[in-house]
């Protein structure tokens, strides 16, 4: 932080009613004191960084609200988009799928397991490359439900 | 946690609990010129402290590991410590850690060529070992044939007898009906025990005091055995009163070399679950150790056992010992043997699986000092009810002669789905008395906040006059509840 | 945190009646003061940890505001209220003391060390029994300063 | 924390970091019938990990302890672990941990009858030992006479020569003036070293390459010695190029029994501060160990030394060894000797102070396996600047063969006032190679958040080809900065 920064900061502060400011880094400490102002809006205190779990919850919440559903892998194995190397994929990006329709194969212990869509809608994302290994619960396709 | 990223960036997986690891590239790259890989990758088919234990051994051997985890174990330490990790199913063990096809499939997709089963779960599943054998995957343990043989208590006892290992008087065959049971009871006398052929570890046993109750006990035992093990076969054995439970650690390579590493005293049990173990045993002298050790080695050689394993004996008050069963895996309590012999059993087990020869002869084995293990369980010390939950505070004891094997860390949530064992506190000192003092000191330092543990019970035992005097048998703990 | 962040934060604060904000990380410390009531009460959210120091600060603050001062032991030793067993105590409860006046003795290694008051005022509390061991910094007397 | 409460409720003081201890009464009450108190109470006149180490030893011996602390150390682990604690002064060491009258006064008011000085602070203060002797307080260490003798490097060298212990060619007396220095330099040759008689541990040394610079170096050395040690006496010694620093652990009781516990290799140093130690040394064979051990025992017997102590040697590339100095206290690196011999040095030290006889003969001492210690310092690994502060995250490594001696815990604030050593990570394994792998694994598991540490430097060393090959000398670390 040099004089230029400090001047810029001061110009900004002058335009506000902040009477005290304290910043410290990295990722630590912010302190702001304003001259008394009057406003009836509620105060919201967001505590910082509740990591993974909260983010997940938020994502889930978003999913629920939106009409994008995810088809996940029901087992560990290798992901195949088509029944055989020369056959066309079960579904393409943009394909319409129906609930119960086979969308891919997971090979596990030399057995080809068909994976069916639980949703009816349009495939809006293919999340795994053909022939790649997948773990249990790994997202495979996003489907936009009507 | 994307599988692909893991598989690509194996060396970056060694991240710590809660925050990112700060060091440079892992040791593999450095040692690559001189490294002799025993296996391409070892899949650790377990969870908790034993998975961490195995990963540590692999890391010290420069062997790469892949952890498996159920959905609730995503934040577990074994996942963080392994070089790679793969989710194999939901929380329920039958759909994850006990799911053979899921595990084999995981081995295939991560390109592993060996599996370490740990203890519990599939460690003594002949079926799992057999699938591995048929799929060209090295099962780090004995052959499926031997697992199956020792898994049947009737066949195991017969093998022991053949090898000249003492057994308690018994029916010498499965019993077809009540009549046969009564006949046998005349020879053996009361009290006697009815045991399930497929039982083990204290499960499926009925103590019978009089002939009057023999009939109903026989039928109940068969019914329970069928329900619990899918096998109604039962047999009768003489009951040994207030025995000690003493086991011999054996190590056998694939070239016919077999040694034993002395005994472990495991008499402090609650409902047939060992709680405190020690080595050496306060009752086993050099002569008895030699006799029991030689008996165990005879059995191991007779059945062609390879890998580490344990032969369990009952020892009566006159120091007679009787074969009870064989555990065909690494034991929970293996660290106390490591402490007194200086031998790393899990490393030995992996080397044996890779075809290496034992580097030690029986005469090289020296027991030094005394070691005790306390199993720390997440449970109410009074009611013994499990106590899962988030660990909010943690202080792990340290200093001289203290070893802690655990998968917990501050902020970790102990899931309700699995065994309540969360840590093994192990001490080593010059004498038994010193070891008890050291264990007391370490237990008093140990702080686990947020859940209940049995630490207070362990402290009570360490201060108990009979325990200090070495007066223990398998009924010892009954007066602590 | 740069000026942009500070500006964004300020925009939010302006929409509220927060007059003081203090954030610290990670997972620690949030402090918010709203204009609200004319009473000076603050919304104080005390996140755990750092108990001792904070408490001490608060105690000191309280002390500063009040006119009660504490005389503490300058060394480890044994506390004596009088120069000899049969002599009267240097000071009694209610005694007036002057700055520099001897109020007790701390015996350390057979040497009698006189402790002087730093304050002028009235002794309102004797905190240690005659003949008891005291550690460094242990409170001995409270003095009400005029 | 009221002193009176502590003194009354001694047994309740064993509370843990951050939360209240949950167990019942402490072991003292239980063992009281059979307990033989060596001392009434032992005052531990130190802080940090060594204070914790001593308290642990006392606890295992059923000896009661009183911790001392400065105002910034109120929340330190040694305060929490001791049976009692007393504040002895402000943060500044000269007014607390180095304040003899404050410590003696503390001994008196808490009714202790022995003092353990640890290392550093007053551990090698003949004055402190003497005050203890005159006050009827047992100083747990050698006599003040011996401390004073070995504290003067000229007298110490003379004693070594008398005892037939090899020394480097030297001036054999303090040097009065430049003329005398030049005379001596003709016999000894260049390069040579000017050392302060009252120096030690690498302090107060001047390396001189040519006669031209001898004069100014001589005057500077005298001036610095006077400033640093209050004693201008200096002497000249032949310079030994790129030596190894190898020391012998000795144990001597008050009945004339003296044994040695083998060597420690301490060549990995930064600015004469040891960073990594190991035992056995990669260069010392059985024959050299015997010769050095016997030399150390001769010196100890000659000067009438009692307690544990260390005789330090320089070893040149031809395996000649030369007496350097004697440390009349427990060393920072004592755990590696404990790991390979199985002997608890701090317990031995306390027992010796209580007048007990050694329970071991020289022939009973067996070194088993290999041990390494890494000193974990709170410092920037690049700039070596100290890094005090609050520890916000902590994961301490565990598992087989890993020992951690530390006074830190999660939430603890490392004060800026004292030494930056915050933990000693010690491993033990069957071979040196295994120990290096184990240390690497443990270092990679170790997580200390909130402050910087030298863990990355240690990991680098463990992966260094020369270190792995055992090619080390006291200049080894210079290429790591």
What does the DSSP assignment read for B76-118? -HHHHHSSEEEEEE-SSGGGTTT-HHHHHHHHHHHT--EEE--
What per-residue confidence (pLDDT) applies to C10? Answer: 73
In this predicted structure, the answer to whether residue B233 has a pLDDT above a threshold of 70 is yes
Burial code of B434-466, b = ≥16 C-beta within 10 A, e = fewer? bbbbbbbbbbbbbbbebbbbbbebbbbbbbbee
What per-residue confidence (pLDDT) applies to D1? Answer: 40
* Among the ranges given (A15-24, B187-196, C69-78, D388-397), the one the predictor scored with the smallest mean pLDDT: A15-24
pLDDT, average across residues D376-396: 93
Q: How large a percentage of chain B has pLDDT more than 90? A: 86
What is the pairing mode between strands D389-390 and D413-414? antiparallel
| D159 touches D341 (CB < 8 A) | no
C135 closest CB neighbour out of D86, D135, D411? D86
List CB contacts (< 8 A) between C134 and chain D: 3, 109
List pLDDT tens digits, range B398-435: 999 999 999 999 999 999 999 999 999 999 999 999 99
Are the beta carbons of A27 and C27 separated by less than 8 Å?
A: no
List pLDDT tens digits, range B368-380: 999 999 999 999 9
Q: What H or E segment, with its residue span, contains residue B50?
A: helix B48-60
Q: Which of B399, B114, B138, B290 is nearest to D81 (CA)?
A: B399
ipTM of the complex: 0.78
What per-residue confidence (pLDDT) applies to C48? Answer: 34
What per-residue confidence (pLDDT) applies to A123? Answer: 95
Instruction: Provide CB contacts within 8 A for C61, sequence distance 6+.
Output: none
What per-residue confidence (pLDDT) applies to B8? Answer: 37
What per-residue confidence (pLDDT) applies to C39? Answer: 34
How would you classify residue B96: left for phi > 0, otherwise alpha for psi between -120 and 50, otherwise beta? alpha
A2 touches chain C (CB under 8 A): no
A51 touches chain C (CB under 8 A): no
The CATH number covering residue A106 comes to 2.40.50.100
The owner of tokens 């690994």 is D381
Distance (Å, whole) CA B40 – CA B121: 24
Instruction: Provide CB contacts within 8 A for C124, sequence distance 6+.
Output: C68, C93, C94, C142, C143, C144
List CB contacts (< 8 A) between A43 and chain C: 16-18, 32, 34, 43
Burial class, B86, CB count within 10 angstroms (exposed 0-12 / middle 13-18 / buried 19+) = buried
A42 plus A57 within the same structural domain: no
What per-residue confidence (pLDDT) applies to B320? Answer: 96
Instruction: Provide CB contacts within 8 A for A66, sequence distance 6+.
Output: none
Helices (H) and strands (E) in chain D, counts: 16, 20
In this predicted structure, the answer to whether residue B28 has a pLDDT above a threshold of 50 is no
Going through D280-331 in order, the beta strands assigned E by DSSP cover 307-315, 321-327
How many domains is chain A partitioned into structurally? 2
Bond before D26 cis per omega within 30 degrees:
no
Catalytic residue among D13, D264, D329, D432: D329
CA angle B211–B214–B215, rounded 5-degree value: 120
List CB contacts (< 8 A) between B86 and chain A: 76, 135-136
C38 touches chain A (CB under 8 A): no
pLDDT, average across residues A92-114: 93
In this predicted structure, the answer to whether residue B24 has a pLDDT above a threshold of 50 is no
Helices (H) and strands (E) in chain A, counts: 2, 10
Name the closest residue on chain D to residue C25, using Cα atoms.
D392
* Among the ranges given (B219-223, D248-252, D457-461), the one the predictor scored with the smallest mean pLDDT: B219-223
Q: Which of B212, B306, B295 is nearest to B256 (CA)?
A: B306
What per-residue confidence (pLDDT) applies to B30? Answer: 34
C133 closest CB neighbour out of D7, D96, D101? D7
Bond before A22 cis per omega within 30 degrees:
no
List pLDDT tens digits, range D283-303: 999 999 999 999 999 999 999
> What three-state secondary structure class fits B196?
strand
| D197 touches D231 (CB < 8 A) | yes
C87 plus C23 within the same structural domain: no
In this predicted structure, the answer to whether residue C44 has a pLDDT above a threshold of 50 is no
List pLDDT tens digits, range D112-124: 999 999 999 999 9
Max Cα separation, chain A? 73
On average, the pLDDT of chain D sits at: 91
Name the closest residue on chain D to residue C112, using Cα atoms.
D105
pLDDT, average across residues D364-378: 96
What per-residue confidence (pLDDT) applies to B373? Answer: 98
List pLDDT tens digits, range B343-365: 999 999 999 999 999 989 999 99
Distance (Å, whole) CA B258 – CA B252: 4
List CB contacts (< 8 A) between C40 and chain A: none
Identify the residue with better confidence: B32 or D404.
D404
A10 plus A70 within the same structural domain: no
In this predicted structure, the answer to whether residue D376 has a pLDDT above a threshold of 50 is yes
pLDDT category, B191, cuts 50, 70, 90?
very high
> What three-state secondary structure class fits B306?
coil
C87 plus C123 within the same structural domain: yes
What per-residue confidence (pLDDT) applies to C45? Answer: 34
CA angle D35–D37–D39, rounded 5-degree value: 165
Instruction: Provide CB contacts within 8 A for C87, sequence distance 6+.
Output: none
Name the closest residue on chain A to residue C44, using Cα atoms.
A45
Last residue of a domain, one of C12, C27, C46: C46
Are the beta carbons of B60 and D26 separated by less than 8 Å?
A: no
Distance (Å, whole) CA D81 – CA D55: 7
List pLDDT tens digits, range B163-176: 999 999 999 999 99
A36 closest CB neighbour out of C9, C19, C21? C19
DSSP D364: G
List pLDDT tens digits, range A21-58: 777 766 567 777 777 543 333 333 333 333 334 444 44
D and B touching (3 or more beta-carbon pairs closer than 8 Å): yes
Touching subunits for chain A (3+ Cβ pairs under 8 A):
B, C
Distance (Å, whole) CA A136 – CA A143: 19
Burial class, C36, CB count within 10 angstroms (exposed 0-12 / middle 13-18 / buried 19+) = middle
List pLDDT tens digits, range D419-450: 999 999 999 999 999 999 999 999 999 999 99
A89 plus A122 within the same structural domain: yes
Q: Which of C87, C95, C97 is nearest to C130 (CA)?
A: C87
And the tokens for B69?
Answer: 């985890």
| B264 touches B333 (CB < 8 A) | yes
Mutation target for A interface from B2, B3, B411: give the one with most A CBs within 10 A.
B3
C77 plus C127 within the same structural domain: yes
List CB contacts (< 8 A) between B2 and chain A: 138
DSSP B17: S
Burial class, B279, CB count within 10 angstroms (exposed 0-12 / middle 13-18 / buried 19+) = buried
C1 touches chain A (CB under 8 A): yes
Are the beta carbons of A77 and B105 separated by less than 8 Å?
A: yes
On average, the pLDDT of chain C sits at: 77
C22 touches chain A (CB under 8 A): yes
Q: How far is A6 from chain B (nearest CA, A)?
A: 34
| D267 touches D472 (CB < 8 A) | yes
Are the beta carbons of B27 and D342 separated by less than 8 Å?
A: no
And the tokens for C64?
Answer: 């500063």
A72 touches chain B (CB under 8 A): no
C112 plus C67 within the same structural domain: yes
C18 closest CB neighbour out of A20, A30, A43? A43
C66 plus C39 within the same structural domain: no
C40 plus C56 within the same structural domain: no
What per-residue confidence (pLDDT) applies to D200? Answer: 77
pLDDT, average across residues B123-135: 97
On average, the pLDDT of chain A sits at: 77
A33 closest CB neighbour out of C17, C20, C45? C20
C51 touches chain D (CB under 8 A): no
In this predicted structure, the answer to whether residue D107 has a pLDDT above a threshold of 70 is yes
Distance (Å, whole) CA D314 – CA D321: 6
Instruction: Provide CB contacts within 8 A for A20, sequence distance 6+.
Output: A31, A32, A33, C20
Are the beta carbons of B430 and D344 separated by less than 8 Å?
A: yes
List CB contacts (< 8 A) between C6 and chain A: 9, 12, 21, 23
List pLDDT tens digits, range B84-126: 999 999 999 999 999 999 999 999 999 999 999 999 999 999 9
Instruction: Provide CB contacts within 8 A for B471, sequence distance 6+.
Output: none
In this predicted structure, the answer to whether residue A96 has a pLDDT above a threshold of 90 is yes
Are the beta carbons of B437 and D401 separated by less than 8 Å?
A: no
What per-residue confidence (pLDDT) applies to C65? Answer: 59
Between chain A and chain C, the number of residue pairs with CB atoms below 8 A apart is 89
Distance (Å, whole) CA D172 – CA C102: 56
Bond before B191 cis per omega within 30 degrees:
yes
A34 touches chain C (CB under 8 A): yes
Mutation target for B interface from A111, A128, A133, A140: give the one with most B CBs within 10 A.
A133
| B150 touches B328 (CB < 8 A) | yes
C37 plus C15 within the same structural domain: yes
On average, the pLDDT of chain B sits at: 91
The owner of tokens 């330190």 is D76
What per-residue confidence (pLDDT) applies to A1? Answer: 56
Between chain A and chain B, the number of residue pairs with CB atoms below 8 A apart is 52
pLDDT, average across residues D14-24: 32
pLDDT, average across residues D48-68: 97
DSSP D157: H
D329 is an active site residue: yes
Q: Which of B242, B211, B236 is nearest to B221 (CA)?
A: B236
What per-residue confidence (pLDDT) applies to C82? Answer: 95
Q: Residue D87 half-sphere exposure, CB side, CA atoms within 13 Å?
A: 24
In this predicted structure, the answer to whether residue D316 has a pLDDT above a threshold of 80 is yes
Mutation target for B interface from A26, A49, A72, A76: give the one with most B CBs within 10 A.
A76
| B431 touches B370 (CB < 8 A) | yes
What per-residue confidence (pLDDT) applies to B36? Answer: 66
Q: Which of B25, B94, B266, B96 is nearest to A136 (CA)?
A: B96
What per-residue confidence (pLDDT) applies to A64? Answer: 53
Distance (Å, whole) CA D47 – CA D28: 24
pLDDT, average across residues C108-115: 90
Distance (Å, whole) CA A43 – CA A50: 19
The owner of tokens 């290392």 is D119
Burial class, D51, CB count within 10 angstroms (exposed 0-12 / middle 13-18 / buried 19+) = buried
What per-residue confidence (pLDDT) applies to C27? Answer: 54
What per-residue confidence (pLDDT) applies to D381? Answer: 86
Identify the residue with better confidence: C30 or B138.
B138
A62 plus A111 within the same structural domain: yes
List CB contacts (< 8 A) between A77 and chain B: 105, 109
What per-residue confidence (pLDDT) applies to B103? Answer: 97
And the tokens for C126?
Answer: 């004797």
Going through B11-92 in order, the beta strands assigned E by DSSP cover 42-44, 65-70, 84-89
Burial code of D280-296, b = ≥16 C-beta within 10 A, e = fewer? bbebbeeebbeebbebb
Which residues form the domain of C137?
52-145
* Among the ranges given (A44-53, B309-318, C113-122), the one the predictor scored with the smallest mean pLDDT: A44-53
Q: How far is CA B229 from CA A122, B203, B324, in A?
A: 48, 10, 19
Structural domains of chain D, with CATH: 3-140 (3.40.50.20), 169-238 (3.30.1490.20), 244-480 (3.30.470.20)
A and B touching (3 or more beta-carbon pairs closer than 8 Å): yes
What per-residue confidence (pLDDT) applies to B271? Answer: 84
A42 plus A66 within the same structural domain: no
Name the closest residue on chain B to residue D344, using Cα atoms.
B400
Are the beta carbons of C1 and A36 separated by less than 8 Å?
A: no
Q: In sequence order, what are the beta bridge partners of D206?
A: D194
* Among the ranges given (C21-30, C39-48, D146-155, D381-390), the one the predictor scored with the smallest mean pLDDT: C39-48
């Amino acid at each position: 932080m040099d004089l230029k920064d400090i001047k810029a900061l001061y110009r900004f502060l002058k335009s506000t009613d902040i009477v005290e400011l304290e910043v410290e880094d990295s990722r630590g400490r912010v302190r702001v004191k304003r001259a008394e102002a009057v406003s009836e809006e509620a105060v919201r205190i967001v505590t910082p960084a509740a990591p993974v779990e909260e983010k997940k919850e938020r994502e889930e919440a978003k999913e629920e609200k939106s009409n994008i559903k995810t088809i996940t892998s029901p087992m560990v194995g290798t992901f195949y988009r088509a029944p055989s190397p020369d056959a066309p994929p079960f579904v393409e990006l943009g394909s319409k799928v129906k609930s119960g329709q086979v969308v891919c194969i997971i090979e596990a212990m030399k057995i080809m397991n068909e994976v069916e869509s639980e949703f009816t809608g349009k495939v809006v994302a293919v999340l795994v490359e053909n022939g790649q290994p997948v773990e249990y619960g790994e997202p495979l396709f996003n489907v936009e439900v009507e | 946690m994307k599988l692909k990223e893991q598989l690509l960036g194996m060396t970056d997986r060694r991240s710590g609990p809660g925050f990112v690891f700060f060091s440079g590239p892992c040791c593999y790259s450095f040692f690559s010129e001189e490294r002799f890989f025993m296996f391409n990758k070892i899949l650790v088919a377990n969870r908790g402290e034993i998975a961490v234990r195995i990963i540590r051994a692999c890391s010290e051997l420069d062997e790469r590991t892949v952890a498996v985890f159920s959905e609730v174990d995503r934040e577990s330490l074994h996942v963080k410590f392994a070089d790679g990790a793969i989710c194999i199913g939901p929380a329920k063990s039958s759909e994850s850690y006990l799911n053979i096809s899921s595990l084999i499939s995981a081995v295939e997709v991560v390109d592993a060529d060996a599996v370490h089963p740990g203890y519990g779960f599939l460690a003594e599943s002949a079926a799992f070992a057999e699938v591995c054998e048929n799929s060209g995957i090295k099962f780090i343990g004995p052959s499926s044939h031997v697992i199956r043989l020792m898994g049947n208590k009737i066949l195991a006892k017969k093998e022991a007898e053949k090898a000249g290992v003492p057994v308690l008087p018994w029916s010498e065959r499965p019993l077809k009906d009540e009549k046969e049971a009564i006949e046998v009871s005349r020879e053996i006398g009361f009290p006697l025990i009815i045991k399930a052929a497929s039982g083990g570890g204290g499960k499926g046993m009925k103590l019978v005091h009089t002939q009057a109750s023999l009939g109903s006990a026989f039928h109940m035992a068969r019914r329970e055995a069928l329900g619990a093990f899918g096998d109604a076969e039962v047999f009768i054995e003489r009951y040994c009163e207030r025995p000690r439970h003493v086991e011999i650690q054996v190590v056998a390579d694939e070239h016919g070399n077999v040694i034993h590493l002395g005994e472990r005293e495991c008499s402090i049990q609650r409902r047939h679950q060992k709680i405190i173990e020690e080595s050496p045993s306060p009752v086993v002298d050099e002569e008895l150790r030699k006799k029991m050790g030689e008996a165990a080695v005879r059995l191991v050689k007779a059945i062609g056992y390879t890998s580490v394993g344990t032969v369990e004996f009952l020892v009566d008050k006159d120091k007679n010992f009787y074969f009870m069963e064989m555990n065909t895996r690494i034991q929970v309590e293996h660290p106390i043997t490591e402490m007194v012999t200086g031998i790393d059993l899990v490393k030995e087990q992996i080397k044996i699986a890779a075809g290496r020869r034992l580097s030690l002869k029986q005469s090289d084995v020296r027991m030094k000092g005394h070691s005790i293990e306390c199993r720390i369980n997440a449970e109410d010390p009074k009611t013994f009810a499990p106590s899962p939950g988030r660990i909010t505070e943690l202080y792990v004891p340290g200093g001289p002669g203290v070893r802690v094997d655990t998968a917990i860390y501050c902020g970790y949530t102990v899931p309700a789905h699995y065994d309540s064992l969360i840590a093994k506190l192990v001490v080593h000192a010059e004498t038994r008395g010193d070891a008890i003092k050291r264990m007391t000191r370490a237990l008093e330092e140990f702080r686990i906040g947020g859940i209940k543990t049995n630490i207070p019970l362990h402290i009570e035992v360490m201060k108990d006059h009979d325990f200090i005097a070495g007066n223990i048998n398998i009924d010892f703990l009954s007066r602590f509840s």
